Structure 1
Amino acid sequence: MTLLEVKNLKKIYTTRFGGNQVQALTDVSFSIEEGEYVAIMGESGSGKTTLLNILAALDKPTSGEVLLEGNNIVLINEKEISAFRRQNLGFVFQDFNLLDTFSLQDNIFLPLVLSGKAYQEMNSRLQPLAEKLRIKDILTKYPYEVSGGQKQRAAVARALITNPKLVLADEPTGALDSRSSDDLLQIFSQINQEGQTILMVTHSTKAASHASRVLFIKDGVVFHQIYKGSLSTEEMYQKISDTLNIIATGGARNE
């Protein structure tokens, strides 16, 4: 079943001074099936961050559609957009976006508090997540008291606690050391195997090689895509590296 459908997205920014126009997205179309794990890659300035912001309903395209379960999120009005994000999307950011004045538990609870959920329901959702993500013994600690890997696992718990239709991850391993990155990628693979749909924007070939499909954005369009299929993570890594080299050298895409 198709969960997300992106149709002919275009985004043009007008610069603040001088009125110059910058075309960040030219014509982006793709779809994501329920339960897929998709990575988006591209050079800086390729449009992938703009694309993620539109998918997250943080920005609106100049034209085009973004359909989540058939509903065009581009048309949702500003009053309803925050509630839509909480009910449908989970977010994992490079810099964690945890509040230092809240314990990890309260950070994880925050989207449910904003949705008006009772403490008993919040706690019943948290306990199995905390167990799975190995943060049960640090829930009362504050973000500045734990490691980067622990912060990111708490951020993943916050993303998952609302039972989102889609998890959007923006460079989730970018601020982590190698060991914590490996740990996080294993967690992503596990939750995807349990049915969670994930869309990740990343510069990391290693991170992207864990996805079931990689989309490459170049000059505001989808330049190429790779399906993992029966490939090993190492073979996927090599195919991604080869495609990135083609993009960097300006070559034609491989079919």
Structure 2
Amino acid sequence: MFLEINHLEKIYRTRFSKEETRALQDVDFKVEEGEFIAIMGESGSGKTTLLNILATLDKPSNGNVILKNQDITKIKESQLADFRLRNLGFVFQDFNLLDTLSIRDNIFLPLVLARKSYHEMEARLAQLAPSLRIEDLLNKRPFELSGGQKQRIAIARSLITQPQLILADEPTAALDYRNSEDLLTLFEEINTAGQTILMVTHSANAASHARRVLFIKDGRIFHQLYKANKSSGDFAKEISLSMSALLGGE
């Protein structure tokens, strides 16, 4: 199994009292290599906490996460940055690009941190750039780009490390409809090429591009849907109905 999330719990305790908040409760699911999964839920449902644990930015109170036979919740603090660099790719809603660097250097940044040679960086970028349609942007700076272009650059930066898993946190939140659709189509293409993707989103339309949708409520997996042979439009309607049931407590 590619990724196993086993009975995760996350309990936050206030510093000066015994009061507890359970952000995650017995979250348990598996991910096949090459899946594209969307994670949905209202604000405070636990989906961001789950993403942070998968990103090794937080540790669970109980349970574990196994990525290709390695328990990532047990990795030493001193080794976490290197683990993220080698295994995880991140796509954020606010792009996290540095205006002081060119687009090329923004994309190269994780490989610089990994001490890869310039020759290897250029070779990897030459493979990525055409599929992401960014060849004409490489010498520009982030402030010269549109939101959709910035998000394509952020995806290039996440892919250039050849990660095992892409974690996307509301990647379409800062984009208009047209740029959102372009980005989600790009995610589908990347996924079809074999990349495993987990995406947190509030948008039924965004989630409809995934192959499976997990719904979280009160820190638990509430429901899941599979796209199978449905169109994205039909799947979006099904997702919206499930979200309505989740919000209505049915």
Kindly indicate whether residue 45 of structure 2 is the aligned counterpart of residue 46 of structure 1. yes
CA RMSD of aligned residues (A): 0.9
Aligned pairs for 1:1-255 within 5 A: 2-16=1-15, 18=17, 20-251=19-250
Instruction: Please give the per-residue CA displacement for 1:212-231, whole angstroms capped at 9, x wherever unaligned.
Output: 00000011111100011111
> Identity of paired residues, percent?
61
Q: Distance in 1 between matches of 2:17 and 2:72?
A: 31
The TM-score, its normalising length taken from structure 1, stands at 0.96
Deviation at 1:15, TM superposition (A): 2.9
**Match for 1:231: what amino acid?**
K
Unaligned runs of 5+ in 1: none
Deviation at 1:13, TM superposition (A): 1.0
More moved, 74-83 vs 18-27: 18-27
Q: Distance in 1 between matches of 2:116 and 2:16?
A: 45
Q: Distance in 1 between matches of 2:142 and 2:208?
A: 29
**Match for 2:62: what amino acid?**
S
Deviation at 1:16, TM superposition (A): 4.5
Instruction: Please give the per-residue CA displacement for 1:172-218, whole angstroms capped at 9, x wherever unaligned.
Output: 00000111101000100001001111000000100000100000001
**Match for 2:71: what amino acid?**
N
Deviation at 1:5, TM superposition (A): 0.4
More moved, 93-102 vs 149-158: 93-102
Q: Distance in 2 between matches of 1:3 and 1:86?
A: 18
Q: Distance in 2 between matches of 1:34 and 1:211?
A: 14
Q: Distance in 2 between matches of 1:41 and 1:97?
A: 23
Runs of at least 4 residues of structure 1 off by over 4 A?
16-19
**Match for 2:30: what amino acid?**
S
